[in-house]
Amino acid sequence: MNEPRTSDLLEQAASVVPVGPAPVEDLLRAGRRARRRRQAGAHLAVAAGVVLVVGGSLTVLELVQPDDRSAEVVADAGEAGTPYAATEDGAAEQSAAGQEAADRPETAAGSAAQGGPLITGGSENCAVVYSPEAVRDQDFAFDGVVVGLGPPVSEPPTPLDETGVTFAVQEWFHGGSGATVTVDIPARPTPEQPLDGVRSYDVGTRLLVSGVDRAADGPLASTCGFTRYYDEQTAASWR
């Protein structure tokens, strides 16, 4: 029995299998679609959350829908430090809250950008004039970044309207220890700055805080210049 010749087999194959150029355009379109899908997945991963680096620890903010400008903290390592946001290229930038505080215009009392006394609203009757030397007579003094705002530490009623401000401590000058501390800061309502108005500080603001320990009522930040927006020169004078 004669075996079929190779040429005959090739002719038979050609009659049933279409022969033509490779579908290059189809392959390119398929590749572009796959690449777009990968890029979309990467963008979704970036949009799903923002990582804050706080003193070497990580805080993940879960972003909500575009029509809601708020963000929910979904994980927090809770260590001290200044909030920074990680950008796409890995560089560190100051967090939006901290940057907003730093960008506020200078005021007569002081500002986050320029330093000076903290604005608490209302007139102040100061029995002691501020000086770096007088800070040493306060019960405590520290350099800290605001990381939380809440009810006052003291039990109501209190003679002043107060806010319990939690700080990530950058440095204790005296009178305390630990990575965080909550201190009451007085805020008096005035026509220029009502209680429901804009705070003179917010999450991300860095302050130099000194004050008194009220025993059972907890620590109270002193006004009259004894609590100030951070600047390096003043911090050095408090050491």
Backbone angles phi, psi at 113, to 5 degrees: -80, -35
Indicate whether 194 belongs to any domain: yes
Indicate whether 28 belongs to any domain: no
pTM of this structure: 0.52
pLDDT digits (tens, 9 = 90+) for 60-85: 444 434 344 333 333 333 333 333 23
Indicate whether 37 belongs to any domain: no
Indicate whether 60 belongs to any domain: no
Contact of 111 with 104, CB cutoff 8 Å:
yes
Indicate whether 152 belongs to any domain: yes
Indicate whether 27 belongs to any domain: no
Which domain does 196 fall in, by range?
Answer: 102-238
Residue 4: partners with Cβ closer than 8 Å, 6 or more residues away: none
pLDDT digits (tens, 9 = 90+) for 173-219: 999 999 999 999 876 544 455 545 556 788 999 999 999 998 777 89
Indicate whether 197 belongs to any domain: yes
Q: What CATH number does the domain containing 226 carry?
A: 2.40.50.120
Q: What total number of domains does the chain contain?
A: 1
Peptide bond between residue 157 and the one before it cis (omega within 30 degrees of 0): yes
**DSSP type of residue 66:** T
Indicate whether 7 belongs to any domain: no
Which tokens belong to 169? 């401590």
